[in-house]
């Protein structure tokens, strides 16, 4: 298996621009997670999906952030408009949930976002 | 109080020694516990999972869980310089009808050659 795939790996944009991050989870996994990591705040869960349905988006910092999962093999995280404080590494992870237990998560390589 | 707490370190140990990493959590209904390793500039990777009280061993790694005291630890025996990384504790619980998967901020481990 190719693992979790994220694109782009690096993104440099100017303040005010729209940014779209993409993720392809591991085939067969039914849960998908979006994280943001910074030195100051560590690894923060933004939103997660179970069977393509958003379960908890309480970590999404504000309305500028939105996420979709139109099918089991694709998800996007969009920031519009972007701000310099959005600069971070964004990780996508997937796992196989069984009943009430979420199993280990497998992380993609991350997208390093820089907003100038 | 943070939901998952770890000492940020750095924890420095000499090569060949035992490294002990600790994690406490606040949610008593937490059900599963994970240790991830993250090298600088890389993504987290799972190294151990533990679901019941006691010890679980995998090679040089031992995870220990004590639900009564709400802590989970990771021991690394015969530490190697290649073990130098940040170790993240993650806790999975099901409360108020939703799942929560919470990471600690990580402990940076330095193994000195």
**pLDDT tens, residue by residue, B23-72:** 999 988 888 899 999 999 999 999 999 999 999 999 999 999 999 999 99
What is the reported pLDDT for A81? Answer: 96
Asked if residue A101 has pLDDT above 70, the reply is no
Tell which wins on pLDDT, B31 or B98: B31
Query: Which residues in chain B are contacts of A3 at CB distance < 8 A?
Result: none
Structure tokens at B100: 């929560």
Asked if residue A6 has pLDDT above 80, the reply is yes
Query: Which residues in chain A are contacts of B106 at CB distance < 8 A?
Result: 42-43
Asked if residue A102 has pLDDT above 70, the reply is no
Cα distance between residue B86 and residue B74, in whole Å = 12
Asked if residue A92 has pLDDT above 80, the reply is yes
- Exposed (0-12), middle (13-18) or buried (19+): which is B69, by Cβ within 10 Å? exposed
Cα distance between residue B72 and residue B23, in whole Å = 5
Cα distance between residue A88 and residue B27, in whole Å = 28
If you measure CA to CA, which chain A residue comes closest to B95?
Answer: A100
Tell which wins on pLDDT, A68 or A50: A68
Nearest by CB: B88 against A43, A108, A110: A43
What is the reported pLDDT for A8? Answer: 97
Q: Testing the interface with A: which of B44, B48, B88, B100 to mutate, by most A Cβ within 10 A?
A: B44
Query: Which residues in chain B are contacts of A91 at CB distance < 8 A?
Result: 43-44
Residue B45 Cα, gap to closest chain A Cα (Å): 7
- For residue B34, the number of C-alpha atoms closer than 13 Å in the C-beta half-sphere is 20
The reply to whether residue A55 touches residue B101, judged by beta carbons under 8 angstroms, is no
Tell which wins on pLDDT, B4 or A99: B4
Nearest by CB: B43 against A45, A101, A109: A109
Cβ proximity of A115 and A15 under 8 Å? yes
């Amino acid at each position: 298996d190719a693992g979790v795939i994220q694109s782009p790996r690096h993104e440099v944009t100017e303040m005010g621009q729209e940014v779209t991050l993409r993720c392809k989870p591991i085939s067969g996994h039914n849960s998908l997670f979006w994280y943001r990591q910074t030195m100051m705040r560590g690894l923060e869960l933004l939103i997660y999906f179970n069977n393509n349905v958003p379960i908890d988006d309480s970590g999404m910092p504000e309305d500028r952030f939105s996420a979709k999962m139109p099918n089991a093999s694709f998800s996007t995280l969009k920031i519009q408009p972007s701000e310099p404080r959005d600069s971070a590494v964004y990780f996508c992870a997937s796992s196989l949930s069984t009943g009430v237990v979420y199993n280990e998560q497998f992380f993609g390589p991350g997208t390093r976002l820089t907003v100038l | 109080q943070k939901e998952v707490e770890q000492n940020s370190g750095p924890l420095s140990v000499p090569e060949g020694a035992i490294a002990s990493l600790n994690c406490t959590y606040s949610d008593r209904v937490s059900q599963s516990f994970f240790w991830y390793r993250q090298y600088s500039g890389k993504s987290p990777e799972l190294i151990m999972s533990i679901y019941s009280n006691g010890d679980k061993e995998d090679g040089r790694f031992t995870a220990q869980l004590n639900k009564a005291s709400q802590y989970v630890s990771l021991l690394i025996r015969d530490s190697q310089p290649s073990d130098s990384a940040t170790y993240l504790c993650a806790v999975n619980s099901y409360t108020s009808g939703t799942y929560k998967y919470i990471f600690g901020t990580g402990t940076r481990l330095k193994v000195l050659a």
